[in-house]
Amino acid sequence: MTQALIVIDMQNDFCPGGALAVPEGDGIVAGINALMDDFASVILTQDWHPAGHSSFASGHEGMEPFEMIEMPYGAQVLWPDHCVQGSTGAAFHADLDTTRADMILRKGYRAQIDSYSAFFENDRETPTGLHGYLQERGISHLTMAGLATDFCVAYSAMDGARLGYDVVVREGLCRAIDLDGSLEAAMDAMKDAGVRIA
């Protein structure tokens, strides 16, 4: 069996001081780096939005960050502007060991649709290409860590399980946004989807 470590969105904007800071988001970097040598493949995802992305509250009149709207593909949380392509906020945390990565997967780069999952955009059907990459490399087991537990990590883990991968989420190497109980809901949904929490 071949194992990959998938490090989700370990970027400045999700760390303290960033535009969409996750509490203690930077506290997991050292632990993630230390895990990398145990894996045949290390994949980093990078949230990578064009300026004015449709998930940004700033482009929706009268709406505030963290409110919900209906998009053609379903419900969508509106976020503060974050991870704008090429910005410092979109860069990986300076301490993340990016040298070990064999693949960096960018997502959320289409203006009209968000992409939490590393596998599919938020319509749940437009593929990012990650499944093809993993299949071609014979990777069957995925370990996930990063930000945020209740959004991009959870969506990635559940899609991975749905696609037939053995998925482990390293809970201690993730941090959550936790909007209105979203962390508990995400943990329950991951368990229901067959994701193992370690």
Q: Establish if 9 lies at the interface with ligand VGL (CB under 6 A).
A: yes
Residue placing its CB nearer to ligand VGL in the complex, 109 or 140: 109
Closest CA to 174 of 8, 3, 4, 5: 8
Least Å from the CB of residue 79 to ligand VGL: 5
- Using CA atoms, how far apart are residues 90 and 49, in angstroms rounded to an integer? 9
* Exposure class string for 133-161: b at 16+ Cβ within 10 A, else e: bbeeeebebbbbbbbbbbbbbbbbbbbbb
Residues 6+ apart with CB under 8 A from 53: 59, 81, 84, 108, 111, 114
Sole binder of ligand VGL in the list 10, 19, 148, 190 (CB under 6 A): 148
Sole binder of ligand VGL in the list 152, 161, 186, 190 (CB under 6 A): 152
Residue 152 interacts with which of ligand VGL, Zn ion, none, CB < 5 to 8 Å by class: ligand VGL
Which amino acid would we find at residue 149? T
Residues near ligand VGL (CB under 6 A), total: 9
Residue placing its CB nearer to ligand VGL in the complex, 42 or 84: 84
Has 107 been annotated as catalytic? yes
Query: Where are the extended beta strands (E) located within the chain?
Result: 2-8, 41-47, 68-71, 74-77, 103-107, 139-147, 166-175, 196-197
Residue 158 interacts with which of Zn ion, ligand VGL, none, CB < 5 to 8 Å by class: none
Tokens 């990078």 correspond to what residue? Answer: 46
Residue 156 contacts residue 5 (beta carbons within 8 Å): no
Q: Establish if 13 lies at the interface with Zn ion (CB under 5 A).
A: no
Query: Coil, strand, or helix at residue 26?
Result: helix
> How many C-beta atoms surround the C-beta of residue 21 within 10 A?
19
Least Å from the CB of residue 70 to ligand VGL: 17
Sole binder of Zn ion in the list 47, 121, 150, 159 (CB under 5 A): 47
Least Å from the CB of residue 153 to ligand VGL: 7
Residue placing its CB nearer to ligand VGL in the complex, 25 or 139: 25
Residue 119 interacts with which of ligand VGL, Zn ion, none, CB < 5 to 8 Å by class: none
Least Å from the CB of residue 147 to Zn ion: 10
Q: Which residues are catalytic?
A: 9, 107, 152
